[in-house]
Amino acid sequence: MRAIVIEDDIDIQQQIVTRLKSEGFAVDSADNGDEGLYLMQEFPADVAIVDLGLPRMSGLEVIKRIRERGNKVPILILTARGRWQDKVEGLDAGADDYLVKPFHHEEMMARIRVLIRRASGWSDSRILCAPVTLDTATQRTYVDEREVDLTAFEYKVLEYLMLHAGEVISKSVLTEHLYDDESDNDSNVIEVFIRRLRQKLDPAEDLKPIETLRGRGYRFTLKRVEQH
């Protein structure tokens, strides 16, 4: 998952970035509205955390502009004042949720996970493409009732594919959303992880959950099951 953090207070920004990275996110950050807008336009992200009171360009303006361009990235706004006026303005401008400072990081992470899931059409924290279940809250994976032991990176790959189940995800998109830096961005590594995932999820090779489309990317083929 790739997140963009736009927050002018460096301490808070670093805390958020650290927390996100520890949760396996690839993170870009900016400390002003101008740069934040640039990041959001140039790098596709799965979630953006935007402070409302930013120098150079207000968070509200950043959100408005990004929405004007048709960018649908889920946006979580941070507001210090916490007045409903600010919240409503932010949500009206196109934000999806808000957090009032100060906030606990668990709360922030919970909101971010909800936003990401929601953006791919999932409403529950348990993502189910029978028989594979991904519990995004606990970051555990099950095939039927059997828990599958995945490494952090394997989990990240599977989560991204399952969130976008049914869609074709190119290798470059996958690397973009999973890697922090461009330096170790080697598409061969992705292939390795895909292979390992297939072995772990489908040792008997009868499910075939991940399909390879030559020259286009991968697709998670198992059908989404909504739990409502």
Partner 1 sequence: MKSIKSRLTLVSMVVLVIFMVLTAVALERAVVERALQAEEDGLQLLIYSLLAAVNRDADGLEITVSADRLFEPDLITRNSGLYALLYDRDNREIWRSRSITIGFPAIAPGELGEWQFETTQHLATPYFRLGFALQWPDSNNKLRRYDVVVWRNAVDYFEQLNRFRQTLWAWLIVTTLLLLVVMYLVTRWSLRPLQKIGLEVKAIEDQRQTGFEQQYPSEIAPLTENLNILLKREQYQRQRYRNAMDDLAHSLKTPLAVLTGLGDQLQLEQSQIETLREQTDRMNQIVSYQLQKASSVAEMSISKPVDLIAIIEKLLSALEKVYREKQVRVERSLPATMALRMDEGDCLEIVGNLLDNAFKYGNSRISVLVEMDEMSRSINMVVEDDGEGLEDKEIEQILNRGTRLDEATEGQGIGLAVVADIVDSYSIELGFGRGKLGGLQVSLKFQKS
Tell the smallest beta-carbon distance from residue 181 to partner 1 (Å): 23
115 versus 210: smaller Cβ distance to partner 1: 115
Of the candidates 131, 130, 139, the residue with the CA atom closest to the CA atom of residue 157: 139
For the CA atoms of 55, 40, 93, 105, the dihedral, rounded to the nearest 10 degrees, stands at -80
> Vertex 159, ends 202 and 5: CA angle to 5°?
165
Tell the smallest beta-carbon distance from residue 118 to partner 1 (Å): 6
Tell the smallest beta-carbon distance from residue 8 to partner 1 (Å): 9
90 versus 217: smaller Cβ distance to partner 1: 90
Distances (CA, A) of 212 to 131, 166, 172, 195: 20, 12, 14, 10
Question: How far is 148 from 92, CA to CA, in rounded Å?
Answer: 42
96 versus 154: smaller Cβ distance to partner 1: 96
Q: How far is CA 54 from the centre of its chain?
A: 23
Tell the smallest beta-carbon distance from residue 83 to partner 1 (Å): 6
Q: What six digits make up the tokens of 178?
A: 């999973």
The residue length of the chain stands at 228
163 versus 178: smaller Cβ distance to partner 1: 163
Tell the smallest beta-carbon distance from residue 109 to partner 1 (Å): 10
Binding stretches for partner 1 (CB under 8 A): 9, 11-12, 15-16, 18-19, 80-85, 87-88, 91-92, 96-98, 100-107, 114, 118, 123-124, 228
Q: What six digits make up the tokens of 138?
A: 């606990």
| Owner of token pair 């979630």 | 47
38 versus 84: smaller Cβ distance to partner 1: 84
Residues 6+ away with beta carbon under 8 Å from 198: 205, 209, 210
61 versus 97: smaller Cβ distance to partner 1: 97
Q: What six digits make up the tokens of 226?
A: 């909504």
Of the candidates 50, 16, 18, the residue with the CA atom closest to the CA atom of residue 35: 50
